[in-house]
Every structure is written in C-alpha cells, then in structure tokens.
Structure 1
Amino acid sequence: MNALYDDPAFLDGYRRLRQSGQALNEPLEIPAMDAALPPVAGARVVDLGCGEGGLAVRLAEAGAAEVLAVDVSEQMLAAARPHAAVRYECADLADFDVPAGSVDLVVSSMALHYVGDFDDLVARVARWLVPGGWLVFTMEHPVMTAPVVAADCVVDDYADEGRRERTWFVDGVIKYHRTIGTVFGTLHRHGLQVERLDEPMPNPEQVVAQPSLAVHRRRPPILLIAARVR
C-alpha cells in the first residue's frame, strides 16, 4: 500500500467527506463491523489500516487488553486518537508482521481493497492468530471495484481481477478487484472458516433521512466478512 492518505489533496477531501456526514462509515460500516465482532474483553488485537484510530479505540474501550493499530499514513497516525491500550505503528501492510500465535483478533476497516497481494496478507494473518482466533474485515464490495472504468450501478469486468485506477478526490487512486469467490477461497485455503458475511446497505428509513444513501440500495457498497481459525 502506498501512503495515499498522506497526499494533501486526498486527505483534505477525505476529511471533508467524513465531516460532512455523507460518508458510509457511520450509517453502514461501523454498525455492521460492531455487530460482527466477537467478544473482545482481554483480547490482543491487530488493526490493519487503522487510519485515525476510530476502530482501535472502540475495541480498547470495549475491553481489549492491547490493540496494535497499523497504518502506512503518517498524517492519519498523527491525528489518531490516543488510548492507553492502543499502540500505533507506521508500517506498510505489504510486509508488516508480528510473531506467530500472538493475536486473538485481527480487524480491518475499509482498507484491504488497497492491498495488492491479498493471499500473502491472509497467510500472515493466519499465522498470527491463535487457534479459534478471528479475522473481521470490511472492504469495498467487489461489485464496486469490478469495472475497469468506474460507473455507478454498472457491474462489468467482474471476472478480470487485479489493479484498478480510480478518481476519488485525486486521480490515480489504486485499488484491487477480486471476486467474492476469490476472497472466500483465499480465507479457506489458509485455514479460516467464514462465520459471517454481510453486505451493509441502508434501510428505507435511512434513505428518507439521508437521500444520498439511495444509490447504495441499488448495489452493495461494502463487503463484510468475519472468519475464524479452524
């Protein structure tokens, strides 16, 4: 992963979006993630792509013993929320590593679609986790990443996995498309049993309150998976 969030123009656009209340995090992603998490009291946690630490701090406040929160962006980490149980580390997920069998829970919030080698990352996560440990993550839904040329509500080029280039606040934002089948197959191959799959979408009441969410009832914007070491 490159330090996209250290680009001043991108970071300004992203922060404006979060502050506007128009982002998907609060209405869709955060409630879905919280509902999918196992009990975290006493857990040793790694948060991959932690950003400004929102999820890491929520886990610490829920009783996690320690949270190692990792992000490649120095700017995001500089603004991260402090907590006595959270330790922040600047590292690229492409080569970040921790000792085998040292983690109870690995989480990632809307970051793994930026990872080029998903297989290698899942292999490392599987090594880190204790028997019965959990990986819970959200990512941009494959119907969103699929088109080579991005277009709202058009699913195209789904079978052609790999790098995609998008314009999102700035030109040249790199994401990686992989099918749901590939995501499942990769988890299974490395000994992780999928226990929950969710595609968070707004309900009609949310659309009435925030009409900009209506498009997300036409196609799911987020894929959530909770998997456990077999």
Structure 2
Amino acid sequence: MDTKQLTIRQEGFDDHEAVEFLTFRSFVDLDIPGMPKRKIPTEHYLVSLLRKDPDFIPELDFVAVYNNEIIGSIFYSRSKVIRPNGAVVETVTFGPVAVKTELQGWGISSALIQHSLKKARELGYKSLLIMGHEAYYPRFGFVPASRFGITLEDGSSPAALMALELSEGALGTTGGKWLYADAYTQSEDQKALEAYHERFLKKFEKRLKGEKMTKNIYDSQQFFDEYAEMDRSKEGLKGAGEWGQFQELFPDLTNLKVLDIGCGYGWHSKYAADNGAKSVFAFDGSVKMIERAKKLNSDPKITYQVQDLETYAFPAETFDLVISNLVLHYIEDLEEIYKKINRTLTPGGIFLLNIEHPIYTSGVNQEWTYGENGEILNWPIDNYFYTGQRETIFLGQHVTKQHHTLTQILNGLLSTGFVLETVEEARPPQDMLDLPGMKDELRRPMMLLIRAKKV
C-alpha cells in the first residue's frame, strides 16, 4: 500500500453505511485484554449513536480514503472534567478509531489521529481524554490521566485513562471526574445493542455472506494449497484452457487504465502491464491471493489490494478496461455489479467477463454422472430457471456459488448500459485435447466469455 495516496477528509452523509460496516469489521474479532470475549461488538452501534448525540463534533469526524475506498474513520465528541468544587473543564475525546482489518499496521490510525489532533487545536480545543491502550497512545503525547488527578466517574483511574493537553496547563492539577457523551453508555445497553445488530445484519446480509465465503474458502490453507496445484496456478495463462479465446477479446492495451476485479494470482494484471497498459489496479477479497500475486506478478504499474468486490467504490469514469475472470458466479446480484462496472468505465470503455456457463452452474452437483465401469455418461442439468445459490464441492471443500441464466447474464449487461461485442463459449484448444479429461470438456461448456462496451 502506498500511504502517499491516502486521503483524509470529513465524513459525509453518504459515507455512513460504509463507516458503520467498516467499524463492525474492525472490531468484530477484537479481544479486549482482561475482558471476556464479546458476543456482539458495540463499536458499530456506538458510531450510529454518536452521530445523534448533542456532544458529537462533526468538524472532527474524519475518514481515511485509499483508491476511493473508506479504509479508516475516527469520531470526536465533547466531554468534561468536574472539579471537586463543581467547576467544569471542557475537554474532548475520540473513539472509536476503525481501520480496515487487512490494512491494520500500515499507519492509517496514526494518520487519522495526527490529522484530527491538528484540526482540534485549530478549532480551539485545549485538551483530550480517552480510554486507550497505554502502550500505543504515548507516541501522540498522551500520558496517564492520573498525573492530572483525573479519574472516571466512579473514582477509579485505570491505566487506559489517558490525557493530552493541546494547550499547556489546560488540565491543571486540581483533578476531577471525567464525564463523556451519553452515547458511550447507551451503546452498552444489551437489548438496544441486540436490536440494532439484528437490523445491521439484515442490511448487510449479502456483503457479510460474500466475505464469509471468501474468508472461509480462499484464505483456507488447505484450499489454497490445493488451488496452487492447478495448472492455471502453476503455469499461469498458458495453463488456462480458455485463455486463447479470452486473449483475443482484449483491446489494444497501450496507455489504458485497467481494473482487474477478483484478480487472483494477478496473471491478467501482469499481461496488461506487459502489453502497454498505463496502470493496473487489481484487487481480490483473499489475503492469500494478493500475497501470491505480489510475489509472482509484481510490476511498478500494478497496484494490488485486498478488497471485497461488493464494497468497492468503483469511482466514476476512471478505467478504460475492466477485467473479471471467474469471479461473478460468486455474486448474487449481477445487475448491481454491472451498474458499478459501467459507472467506473470511461466512455467507450471495455468490460471483459469470464463467468462460469449457466449449463455448468445448473449441473447437478456440478459433476458428471458415471457408469458402472467409471465411464462418463452425461452432464445432468436441473432447476435451470431456479436461479440463486448452488452448493458444490471444489478442491475438496464445500463452496457456495450463484447460478444465473443466460438471459440474466446477457440481458443484465444490455439493461445496464452495455452493448455486446462478442459472446463465446470456452472450449479447450486443439493442443490441450490430449490432456486428461480435456476431450470431455467438449461435451458441455464450462465458461462463458463476453466482451461488452460501455455505450
């Protein structure tokens, strides 16, 4: 990740859902030292409460953006210290600070904190109090709040209670009890949290389902080891039977800006870079896939990133060519993805799609039937017009795919602003027919290759 391309800006209304989802993903697997594992994280609920709290400070509500995706956020609210004599010292606090899980450790939270502290000073705020990790926050100037005689409302002063003076002497030495926005207490209400979380899960059901598939399958070590033994993994494009046909669909790549979605090992990205592309942005939802892509197919013109397809921002009119190779049969709502791809293409831009053929995805268990002597009999098809989820076994593991009819695949493109330039069914080339099982691939199509142009 090139942190020089990181942008920090104020959160907008249209960012709310993305930030709540980001916050949930950032904290869902977090173990808090000394505390039992939480059934439900509270931070995404807290974010929704803070925005409505009268102590919320929208001027200090920031997001970190990289390649048009929100990958970090920070929230500020007003708080106060009540002196023993009843006097009030106005302070502020921040939290939660969320960073996309795959990018934690890249300095994103530090950038958010430093940026927001600078803005807080400019706005005239004089001190901060937070509950944070005592080994992390001193790098920003925080010290134990006990140095100023400040405690929580119950009189305790845990090591996590930390303070920072933005103006020297702002906290003094008289001490007092720290009180913060009601949203923090409200977020601990278990019934309200559970009700919010249920609504949250329904809202993001598709996205979470997609992430679960990616995390459980493509980042499974056993699955990944099996995948690495496939010819297309070991030999690259020349090991993929459909490559000869797919290659012919590529436009002249000279000076094109390319987006490779679900890039896997990065073979198509490297092909584009080697053949004159100006730049390639390639992403995949699998950490292991991106690690392998960087190892096998790195290039100064290629930027690889771990990114979920359904949450990618698809910036408007940014890319001249979008490549999608064997990924969209994992997506339930094809038209929604088509719309986003159309939006991100420049006028006249090309979309190259390789998707599993409907005859393949509607195959019963996606498997041949065999005779008594082990000979292949046929490829049975059933429930063709019942679209949606299909469970199958791939590389020894249960995999969930989505079956789409030919009408859905092609008319979906036509209805979202594309014209079809080429539609081909993949078939093995003549020089591969002697390989085991290849002649049987002529008995039914496995892949559908499409070149579409943005109108």
Question: TM-score band, normalised by the shorter chain?
Answer: over 0.9
State which of 212, 217, 224 in structure 1 corresponds to 2:442: 217
Say if 2:262 is the partner of 1:37. no
In structure 1, distance between residues paired with 2:352 and 2:233: 27
Question: How far apart are 1:147 and its partner, in Å?
Answer: 3.2
Q: Which of residues 370, 374, 391 in structure 2 aligns to 1:165? A: 391
Aligned residue number for residue 182 of structure 1: 408
Alpha-carbon displacement from aligned partner over 1:164-206 (angstroms, at most 9, x marks no partner) = 1111123320111001111111101111001001111125553
Q: Which residue of 1 aligns with 2:278?
A: 65
In structure 1, the residue matched to 2:419 is 193
Against the structure 1 CA distance between its residues 168 and 23, is the aligned structure 2 distance closer, same or farther, given a 3 Å change threshold? farther
1:101 counterpart residue number: 317
2:358 pairs with 125, 142, 145, which one?
142
Answer yes or no: is 1:92 the counterpart of 2:308: yes
* Distance apart, 1:218 and its partner CA: 0.1
Q: Aligned partners of 1:127 and 1:134: how far apart in 2?
A: 12
Matched, 1:51 2:264: yes
Which letter does structure 2 place at the counterpart of 1:218? Answer: R
- Decide whether aligned partners of structure 1 residues 223 and 90 sit closer, same or farther in structure 2, where only a CA change above 3 A counts: same
Shift of residue 23, structure 1, vs aligned partner:
9.9
Greater alpha carbon shift after TM alignment, 209-218 vs 176-185: 209-218
**What is the count of residue pairs matched by the alignment?**
229
Are 1:226 and 2:451 matched, yes or no?
A: yes
Superposed CA RMSD in Å reads 2.0
Query: Structure 1 vs Structure 2: percent identity of aligned residues?
Result: 30
1:74 aligns with 2:287: yes
**TM-superposition CA deviations, 1:45-93 (whole Å, max 9, x none):** 1001001111100001001101000100000111112101100111111
The aligned counterpart of 1:13 is 226
2:242 and 2:428 in contact (8 A); partners too: no
The answer (yes or no) to whether the contact 1:37–1:136 under 8 Å persists in 2 is yes
Length-normalised TM-score, structure 1: 0.93
Q: Which residue of 1 aligns with 2:342?
A: 126
Structure 2: segments with no counterpart, 5+ residues: 1-209, 369-378
Larger Rg: 2
| Counterpart Cα distance in 2 of 1:165 and 1:67 | 33
Is 2:325 the counterpart of 1:112?
A: no
Shift of 1:109: 1.2
Residues 19 and 201 (structure 1 numbering): CA distance in 2 closer, same or farther, change over 3 Å?
Answer: closer
SS in 2 for 1:201: coil
Deviates more, 1:214-223 or 1:10-19: 10-19
Question: Larger RCO: Structure 1 or Structure 2 (Cα < 8 Å, ≥ 6 residues apart)?
Answer: 1
Gapped runs of 5+ residues in structure 1? Answer: none
Question: Helix, strand or coil for the counterpart of 1:149?
Answer: helix
Query: C-alpha separation between the residues in 1 aligned to 2:283 and 2:429?
Result: 32
Q: Cα deviations across residues 23-43 of structure 1 (Å, max 9, x unaligned)?
A: 997242222221111111100
